[in-house]
Amino acid sequence: MGLIIKDKANIKKYSEEEVLNKVFLGDALEVLKKLPSEFVDLVFMDPPYFLQLPSKKLVRWNVKTEVSAVDDDWDKFESFKHYDIFIEELLTEVRRVMKPNATIWAISTYHSVFRIGRIMQDLDFWILSNITWVKNNPMPNWLGVRFTNATETMIWAVKDKKNKKYTYHKDLAKEFGIGKVGANVWVIPLCSGKERLKDEDGKKLHSTQKPEELLRRIILTTSNEKDVILDPVAGVGTTGYVAKALNRKFIMIEKKPKYVKGIEKRLKVKPRKNLLNKKVIKDLKEG
């Protein structure tokens, strides 16, 4: 079988062997229900943000040019209620496939991270930490009406509060954080340059591709070699690409064929040297 599994309604179950190091083209809410229980060691989840940007074009306040905003159809929901239902269904199934000592990372901006955190607590995930990702090359606030948003929050939680045997490499975690104590702030630029996947017209293939360094830190600090890492809303597959480079197994699910094609191409490329570099780089510079 190849790398991609096209999920179909008539397939009722997938075995663990069938799904390791595979990318599902399909709806996460359907695919997750067909996976076995308690076999995943680590989850990274970067769900839609539900940004609710105005339908009119955004124009930069100073130079009056148009902003290319995240207005993808995958980010649209009818209301907060619909968004919450989606997140809850996703997290419920994700929790089922996690081993009892597995942990999960959920990332988002201020638009939805508070809702995601609350839903996680209501589903009995136990929040261990949050990391603030500081982008040292953020998009300015083009309308000039509020603070430039240069951060995203990542919630790190264990499936079961009672389970203390989760994976955490404290020396590395300390190295990656800022200051002498290694506080929970990571400074990493937005994904750009050679790392950024492009479409045939040379435009960004995905509007919210995450930096490989972000996943490198997550995977190194909270998983071990050969662990199984799940990303149920994979975009262009940053999680799987970094997991493979670091000798972990991956399972990714993505509903958009154009992104799955991007993942297929990306996984054929040899990992960049900086991914395998054991040296810890603290505050990364842009570019």
Ligand X SMILES: C[S@@+](CC[C@H](N)C(=O)[O-])C[C@H]1O[C@@H](n2cnc3c(N)ncnc32)[C@H](O)[C@@H]1O
Least distance in Å: CB of 79 to ligand X? Answer: 16
* 5 touches ligand X by CB under 6 A: no
Torsion sign over Cα 132, 240, 36, 102 = negative
Which pairing describes strands 185-187 and 126-134: parallel, antiparallel, or unpaired?
Answer: parallel
**How many chain residues are in contact with ligand X, going by CB under 6 A?**
20
By rule CB under 6 A, what string of x and - marks binding of each residue 208-247 to ligand X? xxx----------------------x-xx-x---------
Least distance in Å: CB of 64 to ligand X? Answer: 29
By rule CB under 6 A, what string of x and - marks binding of each residue 71-90 to ligand X? ---x----------------
> Distance between CA 286 and CA 275 in Å, rounded?
16
* 259 touches ligand X by CB under 6 A: yes
Q: Which is nearer to ligand X, 33 or 174 (CB)?
A: 33
Question: Which stretch in 10-18, 157-165, 201-209, 217-225 sits in contact with ligand X by CB under 6 A?
Answer: 201-209
Q: Which is nearer to ligand X, 74 or 142 (CB)?
A: 74
* Choice from 5, 23, 28, 228 touching ligand X (CB under 6 A): 28
> Bridge-partner residues for 50, per DSSP?
none
The gap from C-alpha 179 to its chain's centroid, in whole angstroms, comes to 25
Place of tokens 């499936």: 159
* 205 touches ligand X by CB under 6 A: no
Question: Which stretch in 10-18, 132-140, 219-227, 251-259 sits in contact with ligand X by CB under 6 A?
Answer: 251-259
Q: What residue number has its CB nearest to ligand X?
A: 235
> Distance between CA 172 and CA 178 in Å, rounded?
12
Task: Give the interface with ligand X as residue ranges (CB under 6 A).
Answer: 27-29, 46-48, 74, 206, 208-210, 233, 235-236, 238, 253-256, 259
